[in-house]
Amino acid sequence: MSIAQLEMPAQSAIVSRGLWRDAARRLRRNRAGMVGLVLIALFVFVAIAAPLIAPYGPNVGRIQDKFLPPSPEHLLGTDLQGRDLLSRILFGARSSLYVGLLSVSIGFGVGVTYGALAGFIGGWIDFWAMRFVDIVLAMPGLLLTIAIVVWLGPGLDRIAFAIAVGNMPIFARIVRSSILALKESDFVLAARSMGASSPRILLAHVLPNALTPVIVQATLTLATAIIDAAGLQFLGFGDQDPGIPEWGAMLTDTFRYIQAGATFTALFPGMAIVISVLGFNLLGDGLRESLDPRLKR
């Protein structure tokens, strides 16, 4: 094999389309990831378009219509207060999406900043910052979240904040470990030799390269955030006066009356949670595989 032949494929490999375009290409070929994307698109569409597609308002109902079985008027039947279950599920997508996005944004923002600074500064600041993370992670999972919600009081915003506090240490750890590896790399040395300031190196060179694993984590965290929020609503920490229905709270309500005449459609808010969470889990796995092709099974 001549040298020219060897160089040909190498040449074409150098023409890179960039990390993200490569990843997007691989994601498009990842069947599970695409299914996840479709489920999420559906979830977001329902959340946005709920007033247009829902046959009734979420809080409209007559008490004499309670627990109607599925019918052409009420495709999934009605609940205890005679409200249309389908409409309430469609509107419920709003609160789930809201809680997921809000909690992940807070957890991501604070966690990434914290972990990036700790890893980049290093030394004893890093050491103590990480010990604090160890302490928070040693607390029993959902109990920390519950304690915070008890402290702040019930409500969707507070639930989101409490879940975010539980997720911050995870984001911080992941970012820190990537940054520790990256800050020793040649391109950082090159940037420093060009006279780039530390903040510039961190923001322009190190951080963008460290974000890949956190973005995967953020997608998977959206899934757990929706589940945790539903769990907290199940325990009674949802909005006390919910203008917008919550899937977790709906599930508790309808299940309580399942012997009193509620039909199997009481299960459907739970199915809605499973489908939306499944979407984020599938996309998260797909993203992980397409951002890091070595993981491909």
Partner 1 sequence: MLKFIVRRLIMLAPILLGLSLVMAFFLHLLPGTPCANILGERATAAQLQKCEHNLGYDRPPIVQWADYVVNAVQLDFGTSFSGARLPVLDAFLQRFPATIELTLAAMLFAVGVGIPLGIAAAKRRQSLLDGAATVVSLIGISIPIFFLGLILVYVFGVWLHWLPAGGRFDLREFDFKGAGTNFLLWESLVIDRDPAKFLDVVGHLILPGITLGTIPLAFVMRITRSAVIEVLNEDYVRTARAKGLSARRIDSRHVLRNALLPVVTVIGLQSGLLLGGAVLTETVYSWGGVGTWLFTAAVDKDYAVIQSGTLLLASVFVLVNLAVDVSYAFLNPRIRYA
What is the rounded distance in angstroms from the CA atom of residue 36 to the CA atom of residue 287?
Answer: 10
According to CB under 8 A, which one of 196, 255, 257, 263 is a site residue for partner 1? Answer: 255
What is the rounded distance in angstroms from the CA atom of residue 230 to the CA atom of residue 96?
Answer: 8
* Window 109 to 128, contacts with partner 1 (CB under 8 A): none
Q: Work out whether 258 is an interface residue with partner 1 (CB under 8 A).
A: yes
Closer to partner 1 by Cβ: residue 206 or 229: 229
Q: Work out whether 203 is an interface residue with partner 1 (CB under 8 A).
A: no
State in angstroms the smallest separation of the CB of 280 from partner 1. 8
Tell me if residue 139 falls in helix, strand or coil.
coil
Closer to partner 1 by Cβ: residue 119 or 248: 248
Task: Look at the chain and count its residues.
Answer: 297
226 bridge partner residues: none
What is the rounded distance in angstroms from the CA atom of residue 218 to the CA atom of residue 113?
Answer: 14
Stretch that binds partner 1, among 63-71, 178-186, 204-212, 277-285 (CB under 8 A): 277-285
What is the rounded distance in angstroms from the CA atom of residue 226 to the CA atom of residue 102?
Answer: 11
Q: Work out whether 38 is an interface residue with partner 1 (CB under 8 A).
A: no
- The pair of structure tokens assigned to 290 is 């397409």
Give the contact letters, 147-186, x = binds to partner 1 (CB under 8 A), - = no: x--xx-----------------------------------
Contact by Cβ (8 Å): 92, 250: yes
Closer to partner 1 by Cβ: residue 202 or 249: 249
* Distances from the Cα of 273 to the Cα of 57, 162, 166, angstroms: 20, 20, 20
Which residues of this protein are in contact with partner 1, per CB under 8 A? Answer: 131-132, 134-136, 138-143, 146-147, 150-151, 223, 227, 230-231, 234-235, 248, 251, 255, 258-259, 267, 270, 273-274, 277-278, 281-282, 297
